[in-house]
Structure 1
């Protein structure tokens, strides 16, 4: 039997690799953009300590379930695809979420009582599917979003030829993909799967501009993975294709990276405010580009704002922007600080002004209901 301390150390290493390493790579690029706009000294990007180890055993013993939302049998994924009557998703990605229920509860308290109904976490291809994480998320009435990263973590570097797109296409990883897909199917509960995010950058091995891949391979790899899920009957997956915003990414056609509507349920977007004064300046260019080739619902799968005098005003523009775009079904706020390995304090609690602006905006949301497992 695996020693529980070994599992915790593996989890801690995984979070450290992702939150500390990968974020430093991406936010270094953002720092260049920010420096050009307002000067290098105004931003604190990179560095940071490891995030805490996710407490996987927490899922089975300390999940607080609000009594106001009824439990029910395993739902079909269709109920989540298009929230009705203006309902939306408010998600967070944060250390220890979804395993520790206190994380979402605190986020809800900090947001003035609006408790997140979505939670995002990261799984690289050295890890299997964790049904406990999914149950923990649903027990908190939160839809789980798995950012599924085809690499061995940031500690192995940005290239990792053993995870080049060609190795996905040629079937090298089929056994792992099939095992993961079968576990997802066996678990039953719908999961949103953000596979190979920010593929229009260069800081991950699955990016076509990384140096180990060729044009056209990302869409081909996506279709290959999707086909395996289809073959095993894992139809409880909400597929999220999620580029980075154009600002800070490589000059590559988003349309050329898109596998097509037949393979995608939601569009995602990583969007961090580093120099913009309004949400529209950050989000509109990429949204308009995406709408040239797909009308799929869009979820902002990572967002946050750089600390500074612009943060509270930027948050103040974000929620009205969301209301004006009914095709944008929600967002996931990146609740990582510099100490957590986030590269900067992206949290909405970084200052009283930012928190107050977020509370005001969150109070205007009407969240889509997410059921919990019976007996939670």
Structure 2
């Protein structure tokens, strides 16, 4: 009995010593792992800080992508409108927070997407004057600036004022805004760089004050107002503008597109807002509207806003779109709407909203021959 008790005490002692050795071994391993982790994080932070100091952003999303211009000096060569419009390839554009002002934002998009964007879209309302700063920032990063010019006093991140009589189409037509338009045109001209202006977009809907059927606007006034603005730019010799007439796809808009079109003499590119909600292919989303547009103009088509609503088929739709794009000779590119719900969008439209969609985008954009602006 005593021997068994003695044997038992010896066994417990040996077990205790064994557990102590295991505990010490595990803790040494954990300490080593923690030290290595701290060193990796410190190295990544140091790399990020070094990159930031050089005007770059460190990222772990993929291989480093060189961004033309890199947010540095504006290129010395100012290409003409004809040179820009003759550039071959497809545009990969973005509309994203901080762009085109922040070179680090542009670099981050390039790293995430796996390709550098060559076009950037931003928004200006009629309470704002033209600034050459974002234009030069865009060109410094190898991107063509697309300025969405909204004839309204603005709104906030989540709403747009529709009933604003001071910005009815009739007030544009009768010259009430001519002083502002002339000042804007002169500033664009003096900046010298080519700017694509997407004027009064999605006019075939009913959610903006420049649409016919709202804000006191009547049939025929939209095209008349467009021509009035265009004529002022022509008179002021602001010839460095690519004019983009950009309706919404017809799924959620009903006004006749042909009736809203100001004519080929007043338009350089056709734009299109096209957001995937229930469609499973790019053709299903875009072609019904494109067929209508092709009945009255053959101008090149640029999809000036695109994105896909979060869904089980978002990744597959993204892959289909990027496979569809190179086959369309009349479609010169797209601008992806890289805003989230928290940033004011209706939902998370971005190509990086989830890992599967991002993987589809990176794989799909890689073989697409992108536009290289003639900046050398």
TM-score (norm 2): 0.79
- Distance in structure 1 (CA, Å) of the matches to 2:291 and 2:374: 33
- Distance in structure 1 (CA, Å) of the matches to 2:191 and 2:368: 30
Alignment deviations for residues 216-270 of structure 1 (CA, whole Å, 9 cap, x no partner): 0000000000000000000000000000000011x22100000000000000000
**Structure 2 unaligned residues grouped into runs of 5+:** 1-53, 57-65
In the TM superposition, 1:156-235 aligns within 5 A as 157-235=161-239
The 8 Å contact of residues 75 and 139 in structure 2, kept in 1 or not, is answered as: no
Per-residue deviation at 1:62?
4.8
Other-structure match for 2:148: 147
The 8 Å contact of residues 338 and 345 in structure 1, kept in 2 or not, is answered as: yes
Other-structure match for 1:354: 357
Cα pair distance change 1:222/1:326, threshold 3 Å: same
Cα pair distance change 1:152/1:72, threshold 3 Å: same
- Distance in structure 1 (CA, Å) of the matches to 2:342 and 2:374: 33
The 8 Å contact of residues 84 and 374 in structure 2, kept in 1 or not, is answered as: no
- Distance in structure 1 (CA, Å) of the matches to 2:333 and 2:86: 11
SS in 1 for 2:83: helix
Cα pair distance change 1:171/1:67, threshold 3 Å: closer
**Structure 1 unaligned residues grouped into runs of 5+:** 1-60
SS in 1 for 2:139: helix
- Distance in structure 2 (CA, Å) of the matches to 1:209 and 1:162: 16
- Distance in structure 2 (CA, Å) of the matches to 1:62 and 1:176: 36
Other-structure match for 1:89: 91
- Distance in structure 2 (CA, Å) of the matches to 1:298 and 1:109: 27
Cα pair distance change 1:67/1:211, threshold 3 Å: closer
Other-structure match for 1:304: 307
- Distance in structure 1 (CA, Å) of the matches to 2:313 and 2:333: 22
In the TM superposition, 1:232-271 aligns within 5 A as 232-249=236-253, 251-271=254-274
SS in 2 for 1:333: strand
The 8 Å contact of residues 100 and 120 in structure 2, kept in 1 or not, is answered as: yes
Structure number with the bigger relative contact order (C-alpha 8 A, sep ≥ 6) is: 1
Per-residue deviation at 1:81?
1.5
Q: Radius of gyration: which is bigger?
A: 2
TM-score (norm 1): 0.79
In the TM superposition, 1:123-138 aligns within 5 A as 123-138=124-139
In the TM superposition, 1:329-340 aligns within 5 A as 329-340=332-343
Alignment deviations for residues 56-84 of structure 1 (CA, whole Å, 9 cap, x no partner): xxxxx95896369x944211011121433
Q: How many residues align?
A: 309
- Distance in structure 2 (CA, Å) of the matches to 1:83 and 1:73: 15
Name the Cα RMSD after superposition: 1.9
SS in 2 for 1:210: coil
Alignment deviations for residues 305-348 of structure 1 (CA, whole Å, 9 cap, x no partner): 00111100100110121112111000000000111111100010
The 8 Å contact of residues 91 and 333 in structure 1, kept in 2 or not, is answered as: yes
